[in-house]
Chain A
Amino acid sequence: MTPPERVQPPRVLTDDNLAKAREIIALYPHSKSAVLPLLHLVQDQEGWISDDAMREVAALLGLQPAQVLGTCSFYTMFKRDPVGRLVVSVCTNVSCYVNGGPELYDALQQRYSEDADVTVEEVECLAACDQAPVLQVNYEYHGPLTPEVAEDLVEDYKSGRLTPRTVSGSQG
């Protein structure tokens, strides 16, 4: 029986990032270790991780797309659906919980529920409890914050007064 013909996945990575991907793969004794870094690279470029991007990562690493999906779907930082260009991650774990984290999350969630630019998510401890309640905008820390100050902050990112990192937290 002849094996089914491999369909060449559509290209997602730019030429520059493809070169970067090959450099990353060469860092590891086993290429599969590059799954997480390559998915970060995709997300830096695209703002999220599409099925096509996972197919491309799989082809680069000699894996099945399902293997890449299996890893990708385990990690909360990887977004498999499009998100806003600003991801606001609000901690509501206990040290933030007793210092106004849930109220901060609710306020931002309400304020930006209709805004395609901003995705507000509730996250577990961000390891910055001395700044409670704390949040990250594209993995840049801000805290402690009141809901009012937090909204001004997000507006500063929206208007370009502050320059955000990428959705994976790299410098843009």
Chain B
Amino acid sequence: MAVTETRIVTQRLRDFPDDSHTIERYLATGGYESLRRALGMTPAQIGEEQVKASGLRGRGGAGFGTGQKWSFLPPGVFPRYLCVNADEGEPSTFKDHMLLERDPHQLIEGVVISAFAIECHTAFIYIRGEFALGAERVAQALAEAYERGFVGPDVLGSGFDLEIVLHRGAGAYIAGDETGLMESLEGERAMPRIKPPFPAVQGLYAQPTIVNNVETLSTVPHIIRMGGEEYAKLGVGRSTGTRIFSVSGHVARPGNYEVELGVTFRDLIYGLAGGIPDGREMKFFIPGGASSPWLLPEHLDSPLDMDHVQNDLKSMLGSGAVMVFDETVDPVEIAWRLSKFFAHESCGKCTPCREGSGWIERVLWRILNGRGRPEDLDLLLDFGDNIVPGLGAPFAQTTICALGPSTMSPVVGLVRWFRDEVEQRTGATRAGLERRVTVPMPEVG
């Protein structure tokens, strides 16, 4: 049977494509009812009995438990801040972009409930600078929410005060890292901070801070509406609920698809996104954004389960961006283009990433252009070993943030699956090389 979408967060914007962003439509479809209900609970009830019980894990990339993150706030330390990470920049991820433009009130309702749950009175929405329409829609929605008493002093007569500030970024992938985001919000270069201290303890303005992704917070009103335990019945294992997957590249129907976790990559790519056009075959796909190591057609029947993809496939579901490449694609070319992205976006703070990302790009460029040397694959792995010692997953790292290890994902993909092709082009023979660094392989086909 063909798989279908399970629409929770995307229900309204699919049902009402013309006006899902308006306050009128939001209120007519049950909007802000979850907020009323949440204001009748205690903050601990929301955090523990609803959000933690729902099993909700962050939808930005790391997949950390949302309720657990909130529970790291040190008791009695105020003020605390909530930052919405709307700086979507992981290549081929375009779900938050859609949620911001087409259902901004759903996000705002999630922010108010979450702020109430963590006892925070100032929240910031850090929106990617390039999202001009998104910023406009959120600003408009915020003005309406203030006007109707959903945000501001004494929210709906509950005595709870909340200010929400919309803050536009200005073009920097690394501002999507939660500590980079806080630096940027403080008016600095978006260079990530060393942890600990973790943001929940010392974050924005050195105060306790929670940073949550747009999709994560947009899910919160639904958890309150359905009940945390009920939400947790959706999904598979520790990957509860639904997620929005952005499918792009060589597919017939690129787009965002919200599915229950546990359906397979094949359901998503061949079922919902219509498969590869013109009868061509798939060469490989990238399961969770540019930072995730690549997978092959033989992995298509694996379930969309964060733990399975990380532990067994040695990759990750990351930001939910699935990129599909057909048989006409040169994997070296894709690896080079992704490495160019990482070299461009490396903030320069940590030497292994600043230097390594540029060298990876240059070596891949010369292989691509027929000037590869026999030792080049080893050289690439050596750069990688400096950034991600052992090249394992989950990774060890010599850099402050995850951008460093991410630079190696295209190389890991090449070495795992296309080593023969690359070695042919660099003139290397396997017998002639003594590899100092090896790449761990997935355990299941």
Please judge, given known A-B contacts A75-B169, A127-B94, whether A132 and B341 are in contact too, CB under 8 Å: no
B88 contacts which chain A residues (CB < 8 A)? 127
- Residue-wise, chain A 130-149 has the 8 Å CB interface mask toward B (1 for contact) of 10100010111100000000
B319-335 contacts to A, CB under 8 A, are: 321, 323, 325, 329, 333-334
User: Is B57 among interface residues, defined by CB-CB distance under 8 A?
Assistant: no
Cβ-based interface call for A10 (8 A): no
Contacting B at CB under 8 A, from A77-99, are 77-78, 89, 92-95, 97-99
Instruction: Choose one: B128, B190, B248; the contact of A74 (CB below 8 Å).
Output: B190
CA distance A61 to B290 in the complex (A): 38
Query: 0/1 per residue, A153-169, Cβ < 8 Å to B?
Result: 00000000000010011
In angstroms, Cα B184 to Cα A35, docked, is 9
B92 and A76 within 8 A (CB): no
- For A13, the chain B residues whose CB sits under 8 A away are none
A35→B249 CA distance, assembly (Å): 37
Q: Which residues of A contact B329 (CB under 8 A)?
A: 98
B202 at the interface (CB under 8 A from A): no
- Contact call B190/A136, Cβ cutoff below 8 A: no
Prevailing SS type, chain A contact patch? loop
State A125–B341 Cα separation when bound (angstroms): 9
Partner of B186, one of A33, A89, A126: A33
Chain B residue contacts of A129, Cβ below 8 A: 92, 94, 246, 248-249, 254, 321, 323
Complex Cα gap A71–B191 (Å): 10
Given contacts A129-B248, A130-B255, A141-B133, contact A74 B186 (CB under 8 A): no
- Is residue B136 contacting chain A, with contact meaning CB distance below 8 A? yes
Do residues A27 and B337 form an inter-chain contact, with CB atoms below 8 A? no
B97 lies within 8 A of A128 (CB): yes
List the A side residues contacting B345 at CB < 8 Å: 124
Interface: B389 (CB within 8 A): no
Does any Cβ of B come within 8 Å of A55's Cβ?
no
Q: Is B72 engaged at the interface, CB distance under 8 Å to the other chain?
A: no
Residues of B within 8 A of A78 (CB): 170-171
Contact residues on B (Cβ < 8 Å of other chain), bracket? 35 or more
Contact of B136 among A27, A33, A138, A171 (CB under 8 A): A171
Cα–Cα, bound, A127→B100 (Å): 12
Instruction: Give complex CA distance A139, B169 in Å.
Output: 13
B173 CB–A CB distance under 8 Å:
yes
- 0/1 string, A94-114, CB within 8 A of B gives 1: 110111000000000000000
B357 to chain A, nearest CB (A): 13
Contacts of B184 in A (CB 8 A): 36
- Judge if A50 is at the interface, Cβ distance under 8 Å: no
Residues of A within 8 A of B395 (CB): none
Contact indicator B189/A94 (Cβ below 8 Å): no
Q: Is A29 an interface residue (CB 8 A)?
A: yes
Cα A141 to Cα B323 in complex, Å, equals 21
CB distance from B84 to the nearest CB of A (A): 15
Q: Would you call A94 and B173 a contact (CB within 8 A)?
A: no
B255 touches A139 (CB 8 A): no
B300 to chain A: closest CB distance in Å?
Answer: 19
Given contacts A40-B168, A92-B337, A98-B249, contact A125 B132 (CB under 8 A): no
Most buried by B among A32, A37, A93, A99: A93
| Known contacts A129-B94, A130-B246; is-contact A77 B337 (Cβ 8 Å) | no
Cβ of A4 within 8 Å of any chain B Cβ, yes or no, is: no
In the complex, residue of chain B having the shortest beta-carbon distance to the beta carbon of A43: B170
Please report the C-alpha to C-alpha distance between residue A37 and residue B187 in the assembled complex, in whole angstroms.
9
Closest to B289 in A: A125
Cross-chain contact B170 with A95 (CB below 8 angstroms):
no
Query: Contact: A36 with B323, CB < 8 Å?
Result: no
Interfacial residues, chain B to chain A (CB-CB below 8 A): 79, 88-94, 96-97, 122, 128-133, 135-136, 165, 167-173, 184-190, 205, 246, 248-250, 254-256, 290, 321, 323, 325, 329, 333-334, 337-338, 341, 344-345, 347
Question: Closest 9 interchain pairs by CB?
Answer: A76-B171, A169-B132, A129-B248, A35-B187, A75-B170, A32-B187, A77-B171, A139-B132, A95-B248
Contact sample, A vs B, 14 pairs, CB 8 Å cutoff: A29-B79, A70-B188, A74-B347, A75-B169, A75-B171, A77-B130, A92-B337, A124-B345, A125-B93, A127-B94, A129-B248, A130-B254, A140-B132, A169-B135
Besides A33-B187, A127-B89, 17 other CB < 8 A contacts? A30-B205, A33-B167, A35-B187, A36-B187, A37-B168, A61-B187, A77-B170, A89-B130, A94-B249, A95-B92, A125-B89, A125-B93, A128-B94, A129-B94, A130-B256, A138-B132, A140-B132
